[in-house]
Structure 1
Amino acid sequence: MIDNQTSGVFVISATPFTADGALDLESAKRLTEFYLEKGASGLTVLGMMGEAAKLTPEESLSFLDTVLATVAGRVPVVVGVSAPGLVALRSLSLQAMERGAAGVMVAPTPNLRTDAQLTGYYRMVCEALGPDVPVVLQDFPLALGVQFSVDCLLQIFAENPQIVMLKHEDWPGLAKLGALRTAEEAGAGRVSILVGNGGLFLPQEMERGADGAMTGYAFPEMLAQVVEGCKIGKRDAVEDIFDAHLPLIRLETQPGLGLAFRKEVLFRRGAIASPFVRRPGPKLEAADMAELDRTLARLEKRLAELA
């Protein structure tokens, strides 16, 4: 199970499809092994970048079963269970936990606007799931349009101890991250904080107190290097490597088109058999491919120089 001390790199898994759009479970096995070989401390499946909303309920469970069987207990697996209604959210959560998941991730529904609505929502979620299901709260205002204040988050964590982790994706969010850690030092309960946004601010977020990353960048070994390097005081050394990856991180972090870039890189790295993004979804044009070619060539050259 995940807990409030969980750290490292939880890679958000892509969901592989065949070239005609069918779920590709053989690639799911290959991709899972790829993530583990590249240093993942854990995996997160059925997230936004995993195209969870485009899967049928049967496909979601089939993909989850494949990942869990491939992982075979080597690392914890968090399952995205966000849904408009609590009945569907609870059903998927309990099925995931029964299958061996280490926790579930819940994003707020987009209609929540006030602190009272947000605290009330997570109170209902935790009551529906019961106290034995570890929960990750996803704070991603750029995608969801929902804003959590620091005080609101602290109240939610205090009222619901089963929320053991924050998926921090506010942008800009360094001040919020620092404020949460300052509150912890002043006596607030601790939660694990893993950061997203493609890892775009990872070294700075580690400096402010993050425990690691939860994102899907196609070079997870770099994320693992940065997290470990920052923990042992070698930020300058690993930040040179991080800086070399920034142009590709920018491509992958773009709203919409970024997923197509990410899947194309995973395809080129041999992790999946097809870069297909299920419809409706973006498709790379010739100019996009040329830009990716140049970006990858520059990355390879710079990493060789650093080596």
Structure 2
Amino acid sequence: MISAETRGVFAIAPTPFMPGGALDVASLGRMTERYAGYGVDGLTILGIMGEAQKLEPEESLAVVREVVAHAGSLPVVVGVSAPGFAAMKRLSNAAMEMGAAGVMMTPPAAMRTDDQIAGWFAQAVAQIGTDVPFVLQDHPTATGVVMSTNVIRRVVEENPSCVMLKHEDWPGLEKISTIRRWQKQGDMRDLSILCGNGALFLDLEMGRGADGAMTGYAFPEMLRRVVDLAPRDRDAAQDIFDAHLPLLRYEHQPGVGLAVRKRILARRGFIAHADLRAPDAPCSEAACAEIDYLLERLAARDPGCGL
């Protein structure tokens, strides 16, 4: 199970599809084993990168089943966010029965005030069970839900099963510092903080006290090296991060970023096809050429990147 002591790198995994849009079940096992081979500490599935909103309920269960079966000892976190609690409860219960290590959830866009946000989490926990450890996903640029540090502390204190913050606010470095200050002062209980945002600020987030990364950048071994080096050799970690920054920036484009990431993961053998499920489209010919150029540059600047 994940806990407040969870550290390291959790790779956000995509959902692989066939060219016609069918779920590519065969790629799920290979993808999971490939991530494990690059030294991640865990996997997170059925998030925004996993195109979870495009899946049928039975497809979501199939993804969980295959990934958990191939993950071995790696903990798997399952995104269960949905407009209604019935779907969340079903997926959460099934995922935990299959061997998931916890779930990740965030409120729908209609939740605006602190009371609404805190109330939503209380209801969600009542539905999925107080014994299910969960990740509070704070990703306002994608969800439209703005969570202050005060409401995050309130959710954490009111729900002991909240063991991790997936920090994806932007700008959000001060949020990490505030939470860590409260914890040091004894004003907030311990909480694992893993950071997303495509790792675009991972170098600085580690300096603010983050415990690692939970994101889908197509080079998990870069995340591994930066997270491991940051506490003891900031300059070495920064050198690795700097070499990847042009590609990180390119991957972070709204709307096309997932297509970029899937193309790179397909090229690296994580998944068989770079296809997204409709209505999203793959990279254009021009984008593919730009990706190839950036990968060539990356291979020259960071020979250990795995290309």
> TM-score, length-normalised on structure 2?
0.97
- In the alignment, which residue of structure 2 is the partner of 1:223? 223
Say whether the 8 Å CA contact 1:256–1:282 is kept in structure 2. no
Residue-by-residue CA offset, 1:212-242 (whole Å, 9 max, x unaligned): 01001110000010001113x1121021011
| CA distance in structure 2 between the aligned counterparts of 1:173 and 1:282, rounded to whole angstroms | 30
What's the secondary structure of 1:167's corresponding residue? strand
Q: Which amino acid aligns with 2:30?
A: R
- In the alignment, which residue of structure 1 is the partner of 2:87? 88
What's the secondary structure of 2:96's corresponding residue? helix
- In the alignment, which residue of structure 2 is the partner of 1:15? 15
In structure 2, stretches of 5+ residues that fail to align are: none
| CA distance in structure 2 between the aligned counterparts of 1:125 and 1:293, rounded to whole angstroms | 43
- In the alignment, which residue of structure 1 is the partner of 2:259? 260
**Greater mean alpha carbon deviation, residues 143-152 or residues 296-305:** 296-305
- 1:141 equivalent to 2:155? Answer no
| CA distance in structure 2 between the aligned counterparts of 1:282 and 1:138, rounded to whole angstroms | 26
Q: Which amino acid aligns with 1:154?
A: R
| CA distance in structure 2 between the aligned counterparts of 1:271 and 1:85, rounded to whole angstroms | 32
What's the secondary structure of 1:48's corresponding residue? coil
Q: 1:61, CA displacement in angstroms?
A: 0.7
Percent of aligned positions that are identical? 54
Q: Which amino acid aligns with 1:248?
A: L
| CA distance in structure 1 between the aligned counterparts of 2:264 and 2:192, rounded to whole angstroms | 30
| CA distance in structure 2 between the aligned counterparts of 1:271 and 1:175, rounded to whole angstroms | 35
Residue-by-residue CA offset, 1:181-207 (whole Å, 9 max, x unaligned): 001111110110000001000010011
Count of matched residue pairs: 305
- In the alignment, which residue of structure 1 is the partner of 2:52? 52
| CA distance in structure 2 between the aligned counterparts of 1:276 and 1:305, rounded to whole angstroms | 27
Q: 1:282, CA displacement in angstroms?
A: 2.9
| CA distance in structure 2 between the aligned counterparts of 1:54 and 1:88, rounded to whole angstroms | 14
Q: 1:290, CA displacement in angstroms?
A: 1.1
- In the alignment, which residue of structure 2 is the partner of 1:181? 180
> TM-score, length-normalised on structure 1?
0.97
Q: 1:270, CA displacement in angstroms?
A: 1.3
| CA distance in structure 2 between the aligned counterparts of 1:281 and 1:305, rounded to whole angstroms | 32
- In the alignment, which residue of structure 1 is the partner of 2:68? 68
- In the alignment, which residue of structure 1 is the partner of 2:293? 294
Q: 1:305, CA displacement in angstroms?
A: 9.7
Regions of 4+ moved over 6 Å: none
In structure 1, stretches of 5+ residues that fail to align are: none
Q: Supply the RMSD in Å over aligned alpha carbons.
A: 1.3
Q: Which amino acid aligns with 1:93?
A: S
| CA distance in structure 2 between the aligned counterparts of 1:149 and 1:135, rounded to whole angstroms | 19
Residue-by-residue CA offset, 1:84-124 (whole Å, 9 max, x unaligned): 11111111111100110000001111101100101111111
- In the alignment, which residue of structure 2 is the partner of 1:279? 278
Q: Which amino acid aligns with 1:81?
A: V
| CA distance in structure 2 between the aligned counterparts of 1:185 and 1:303, rounded to whole angstroms | 37
| CA distance in structure 1 between the aligned counterparts of 2:247 and 2:304, rounded to whole angstroms | 17
Residue-by-residue CA offset, 1:252-284 (whole Å, 9 max, x unaligned): 111110000000001111111110011011321
- In the alignment, which residue of structure 1 is the partner of 2:234? 235
